[in-house]
Amino acid sequence: MADLGAIVRDIAEEMRALPDKGKVADYIPALAGIAPDRFGMAAVMADGTCHKAGDADVPFSIQSISKVFALTMALGAVGDALWQRVGREPSGSAFNSIVQLESEHGIPRNPFINAGAIVVSDILLGRYEPREAIGEMLRFVRALAGDDSIVVDEDVARGEQETGYRNMALANYMRAFGNIRHPVEKVLGLYFHQCALAMSCRQLALAGRYLMARGQNPDTGRSVVSPQRARRINALMLTCGHYDGSGEFAFRTGLPGKSGVGGGILAIAPGVASIAVWAPGLNERGNSLAGTLALERLVQATGWSVF
């Protein structure tokens, strides 16, 4: 049996020494100031052991990784009716692209591009008041991680709001098609706040355990989602979780994964481990450069690919 602790520490060391670490997202001021040489990794195993290295306990902005938790909550709220308003196909376009919405009648390709996540926020507002929705999401991720210290970074949320012109365009455009039903400012308020959730790799890997464990929260033994729903969310992460870099990520790691522009990635080895990495430098598709490489190395060393 491989020494997982040593594997994770070796990967962290290799990533720290990487000469090209990519480019930190700079369109949100609070993200632009993050040092590109940060690196953290945590792998929580099915038996509860956690192997971690580097900045694994430093909170970072999870950004689009929150789309996984939002989707899970929205499916809980409206079930499969959600799929009448959001597709399940990779977009092959940038995360914030608007082009497909015109010919596809305001129905976003999938819940992990911005347009899809904004519809998911709108669906959540059909269940919760705007003010309580973000509180519910916070409660949800805290319960999944078994950690009450997770918070929303208000500085990041404000930055999103101030620079979110494309998201406003997406939301207004979909509203014109009738696929956004609540006031755009309220829908985006929720979306911006969920993107601003701050979590460490350890907290994120813990929060992802239900996707490793057939939908169960291992702390409570309770079902978060059905095994079928967990399988479907994993399938969407594999095919759509890295935007127009989804094929490349699947090719290199063979794992369902969801990235965020903060440089985090949540990856799931079903039945085996929930893994989170954080390396703020991004590649040309807006996905963590060293984070992807670290996961590729982990799969090479452990054979955890689903294929």
Q: So which residues are the catalytic ones?
A: 64, 67, 191, 243, 261
Q: Coil, helix or strand for 23?
A: strand
Amino acid at 275: I
Tell me which residues in 238-277 interact with ligand DON (CB under 6 A). Answer: 259-261
Helix 227-240 × helix 66-78 angle, to 10°: 140
Cβ proximity to ligand DON, 30 vs 143, nearer residue: 30
| Least CB distance to ligand DON at residue 203 (A) | 17
* 136-140: long-range pairs with CB below 8 Å, 24+: 136/73, 137/66, 137/69, 137/70, 137/73, 137/190, 137/193, 137/194, 137/197, 138/197, 140/69, 140/72, 140/73
Closest to ligand DON by CB, 96 vs 246, is: 96
Residue with tokens 């996961």: 295
* CB-CB contact of 237 with 88 (8 Å): no
- State in angstroms the smallest separation of the CB of 298 from ligand DON: 20
Contact call for residue 234 and ligand DON (CB under 6 A) = no
212 binds ligand DON (CB under 6 A): no
- CB 213, min distance to ligand DON, A: 25
**95 touches ligand DON by CB under 6 A:** yes
To the nearest whole angstrom, how small is the minimum distance from the Cβ of residue 242 to ligand DON? Answer: 8
- Quick check: 195 binds ligand DON (CB under 6 A)? yes
Binder among 63, 179, 203, 292 for ligand DON (CB under 6 A): 63
CA 133 to chain centre: 18
Is 36 exposed, middle or buried (CB count within 10 Å of its CB: 0-12, 13-18, 19+)? middle
**Binding of ligand DON by 112 (CB under 6 A):** no
108 contributes a contact to ligand DON by CB under 6 A: no
- Smallest distance, ligand DON to C-beta of residue 209, A: 22
Examine residue 160 and tell whether it contacts ligand DON (CB under 6 A).
yes
Decide: is 114 part of the binding site for ligand DON (CB under 6 A): yes
Give the CA angle between residues 169, 171, 177 to the nearest 5°.
Answer: 105
Spatial separation of the C-alpha atoms in residues 205 and 208, rounded to whole Å: 5
Binding-site residues for substrate sit at 64, 114, 160, 167, 191, 243, 261
Q: Which positions lie near ligand DON, rule CB under 6 A? A: 63-64, 95-96, 114, 160, 167, 195, 259-261, 286
